[in-house]
């Protein structure tokens, strides 16, 4: 009887010690990266929506304000299957490595970066606020921005 109690205790202890399984991003997820600052500052939105007609196109919108008018310019970047894999990998890394303390929120104006992963009506957002520039957010954001910027003309790169 004593051995049975020890064995049951052993199984209970080890069954409670399960490691957290990190959910992998589905290839149906829409991916968004938004960088913005104070009102009337330029902002960028990079979006990838695999459910749209063109499943291999990354859309980059640059929104500029001239004389209080909003001017939006859109660039389309075709991605190879390997580049699509890399894009999902960068978003997965952001999701896996996000810490609540990264969500710095300050009263002062500054650059903000929002990473959004959307599947139908469900959406999860990772925000980085009050930064000097977007590249100061995290290593994962830097890698994602380098990946996107390497496919854009110099005058259209995200910041």
Q: Burial code of 94-115, b = ≥16 C-beta within 10 A, e = fewer?
A: bbeebeeebeeeeeeebbbbeb
Is residue 19 in some structural domain? no
Is residue 20 in some structural domain? no
Is residue 67 in some structural domain? yes
- Domain total for the chain? 1
Write out the residue range of the structural domain in which residue 106 sits: 26-153
Share of the chain above pLDDT 70, in %: 72
Concatenating the DSSP letter of every residue in the chain gives: -HHHHHHHHHHHHHHHTPPPPPPPPPTT-EEEEEEE-STTS-EEEEEE-TTSS-TTEEEEEEEEEETTEEEEEEEEEE--HHHHHHHHHHHHHHHHH--GGG----SS--EEEEEEEEETTEEEEEEEEEESSGGGS-HHHHHHHHHHHTTS-GGG---
Instruction: For residue 47, name the pLDDT band (cuts at 50, 70, 90).
Output: very high
Is residue 40 in some structural domain? yes
Q: What is the CATH number of the domain that holds 106?
A: 3.30.1560
pLDDT tens column, 79-107 = 999 999 999 999 888 888 877 655 555 54
């Amino acid at each position: 009887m004593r051995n049975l109690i020890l064995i049951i205790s052993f199984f209970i202890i080890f069954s409670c010690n399960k490691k957290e399984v990190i959910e992998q991003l589905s290839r149906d997820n829409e991916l968004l990266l938004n960088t913005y600052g104070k009102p009337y500052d330029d902002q960028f939105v990079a979006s990838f929506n695999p459910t749209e007609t063109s499943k291999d196109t990354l859309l980059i919108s640059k929104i500029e304000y001239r004389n209080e008018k909003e001017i939006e310019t859109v660039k389309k970047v075709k991605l190879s299957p390997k580049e699509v894999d890399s894009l999902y990998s960068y978003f997965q890394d952001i999701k896996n490595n996000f810490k609540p303390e990264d969500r710095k929120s300050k009263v002062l104006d500054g650059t903000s970066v929002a990473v959004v992963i959307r599947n139908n009506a469900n959406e999860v957002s990772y925000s980085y606020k009050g930064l000097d520039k977007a590249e100061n957010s995290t290593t994962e954001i830097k890698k994602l921005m380098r990946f996107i910027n390497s496919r854009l003309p110099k005058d259209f790169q995200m910041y």
